[in-house]
Amino acid sequence: MADVTFDPQDVVQGSPPGRLRDGVQAPGVARAQDWLDAIEQSRLTPRYYLTIFLIVLQEMFEFYDFFLVGYLVSVLAPGWHLTYGQSAMMLLSSGVGAIAGALIGGQIADIVGRKRIIWAGGLIFALGAAGCAAIPDGAWIQFSLLRFVVGFGSMAATTSQNPLIVEITPTRYRTFISSMMVVPVALGTMFAAMVSAALLPVIGWRGVAATGALPIVTSLLIAWIVPESVRWLLSRGRNAEARREAARLLGVAESSITLPSAAAPDRKAGSFVELWRDQKRFWWVVVIWTGISTGTYGVILWGPTILSQLLKITAHEAAHYFIYASIASMLGRVLFAVLPLHIGRRGAAIVGTAASVVVMLAIFAFYREFVGGWSVFALLVIAGAAFYSGMFSNISPYVVEVFPVSLGGRAFGLAQAANGVGKILGPVCLALIAGSQDVVSPKATTDAIAPAFLFLAVCELAALIAILAFRREPHGRPMDIS
């Protein structure tokens, strides 16, 4: 199989379907994996790159809207006289929605396919985000409910975005491309900081919240342009559709692609019980994603409020600091897209979590200090973003790659459900430590920083231990399409 090169330009016009140049018969007479081995030798096409662009753009908007709420709450908390508990509810409601969206979206993605969940979830979260701009002043409960809708739609889409990219990318490119596609997503975090810093004083929080409707456009384009996963179709025994989508992705006539003759029987997608049966992988996913997400979202969602209270500056001034954190996050994602090529997925995950533990402990110990007029807290948050946020470019495809394609949606759904738990624990930890009934104030915030970041360090440490315990390495290995 290694000697067969399947290139769209190699298909001989007028030859029998599946016949390649020099009289070589295309594979497909034995099993689906042989057929895929030949397809994998093709070059990446314009439609492939356009698919990557659209999905990355949608993910960027998801990150933009998710992190935008941190700046909105930092404005609304004083104006609406919110307690820590009410503020935390506004921050964590999207995390609750994310858990539901991940579990439901992951299940449906293995039943109806990746593409439909991506564009439908995008529409749901965009409409929920836009709705926040229309609520009355002081309506923190309505705000929280709409943020639940945002979290649900966003995470339902996410459960299919990464599996789709991993599954349509040839193995020789998979580690790098599936990691690099997460890099521009950090632009969403940076744009949230930039828009908040520049526009909050100009168009107010309602105008800034209304920008969350932008993903409506990308969702419609995805429904029109993006192909379905060929590997997912093969795993369901839908070989005729797999041939059609392969032809669409490669930009060749459907008749030029031979179907695999040994078709897998069409089978119903199972429940999450299939994941539960493999206890080692199940808990590996839960622990690493809960630990890493709690640390990351605890810093990013409370960061603007902590910094504004600690330094006694306004919310839009605090947002300027997080522009630098967003840049560090994007650079970190580049690092963790390249690092697995040299030390593997597992090695890169160990580096990222170990560095995150060190950063959280340093904040615990030195958050009150200043160096050269800069807050050590701000410096550590900026530098640490390269690790606790940057390593998502490695662990996101990592989870998909260690499971069979037939379980890909549910596996990533489980990961994102754990991610949603982290989105809840992150905001809640500081609220509980500070006193959920206390009004947001500099004294309460300062007193809560040390114990909160010690808790976040423990969460990152738990993720590190789980990664060390699970030794499977998917880098450079073909995916199991069973």
The DSSP secondary structure of 199-210, one letter per residue, reads HHHHHHHHHHHH
| Weakest-pLDDT range from 26-30, 37-41, 346-350, 386-390 | 26-30
Task: Give the best-scoring range by mean pLDDT among 303-312, 345-354, 424-433.
Answer: 345-354
Which pLDDT score is estimated for 23? Answer: 35
Q: What is the pLDDT of residues 364-379, one digit of tens each?
A: 999 888 888 888 988 9
Contact status, residue 212 vs residue 129, Cβ threshold 8 Å: yes
When pLDDT is averaged across residues 110-117 and rounded to a whole number, the result is 90
Question: Is residue 190 scored above 80 in pLDDT?
Answer: no
Question: Is residue 5 scored above 60 in pLDDT?
Answer: no
Kindly state the helix (H) or strand (E) to which residue 337 belongs, with its residue range.
Answer: helix 315-366
CA distances from 441 to 428, 444, 477 (A): 16, 6, 52
Distance, CA of 480 to CA of 272 (rounded, Å): 18
| Weakest-pLDDT range from 89-103, 124-138, 264-278 | 264-278
Question: Is residue 359 scored above 90 in pLDDT?
Answer: yes
| Weakest-pLDDT range from 174-183, 197-206, 339-348 | 197-206
| Weakest-pLDDT range from 9-18, 53-62, 325-334, 436-445 | 9-18
Distance, CA of 315 to CA of 321 (rounded, Å): 10
Q: Which amino acid is at 223?
A: A
Exposed e or buried b per residue across 293-317, where buried means at least 16 C-beta atoms within 10 angstroms of its C-beta: bbbbbbbbbbbbbbbbbbbeeebbe
Distance, CA of 318 to CA of 193 (rounded, Å): 9
Which pLDDT score is estimated for 71? Answer: 78
Q: What is the pLDDT of residues 425-448, one digit of tens each?
A: 877 777 777 665 555 555 556 777
Which pLDDT score is estimated for 268? Answer: 56
- In words, the CATH class of domain 38-253+261-469 is mainly alpha
Which pLDDT score is estimated for 260? Answer: 62
Q: What is the pLDDT of residues 227-260, one digit of tens each?
A: 898 888 888 888 888 888 888 888 787 777 776 6
When pLDDT is averaged across residues 301-310 and rounded to a whole number, the result is 77
At 138 the three-state DSSP class reads coil
Question: Is residue 44 scored above 80 in pLDDT?
Answer: yes
Q: Which has more confidence, 35 or 403?
A: 403
Q: Would you place residue 168 in the very low, low, confident or very high pLDDT band (cuts 50, 70, 90)?
A: confident
Distance, CA of 188 to CA of 191 (rounded, Å): 5
User: Structure pTM?
Assistant: 0.74
| Weakest-pLDDT range from 47-61, 226-240, 290-304, 312-326 | 312-326
Which pLDDT score is estimated for 33? Answer: 62
Distance, CA of 398 to CA of 292 (rounded, Å): 14
Distance, CA of 445 to CA of 303 (rounded, Å): 11
Which pLDDT score is estimated for 32? Answer: 59
Which pLDDT score is estimated for 29? Answer: 37
Q: Would you place residue 27 in the very low, low, confident or very high pLDDT band (cuts 50, 70, 90)?
A: very low
Q: Which has more confidence, 285 or 437?
A: 285
Q: Would you place residue 11 in the very low, low, confident or very high pLDDT band (cuts 50, 70, 90)?
A: very low
Domain limits of the chain? 38-253+261-469
For residues 261, 265, 266, 267, the Cα torsion angle rounded to the nearest 10 degrees is -150
Which pLDDT score is estimated for 38? Answer: 60
The interaxial angle of helices 442-469 and 279-311, nearest 10 deg, is 160
Q: Which has more confidence, 438 or 64?
A: 64
| Weakest-pLDDT range from 136-150, 249-263, 442-456 | 249-263
Instruction: Please report, rounded to a whole number, the percentage of residues in the chain having pLDDT higher than 90.
Output: 28
For residues 68, 72, 74, 79, the Cα torsion angle rounded to the nearest 10 degrees is 180
| Weakest-pLDDT range from 26-35, 68-77, 147-156, 222-231 | 26-35
Which pLDDT score is estimated for 21? Answer: 37
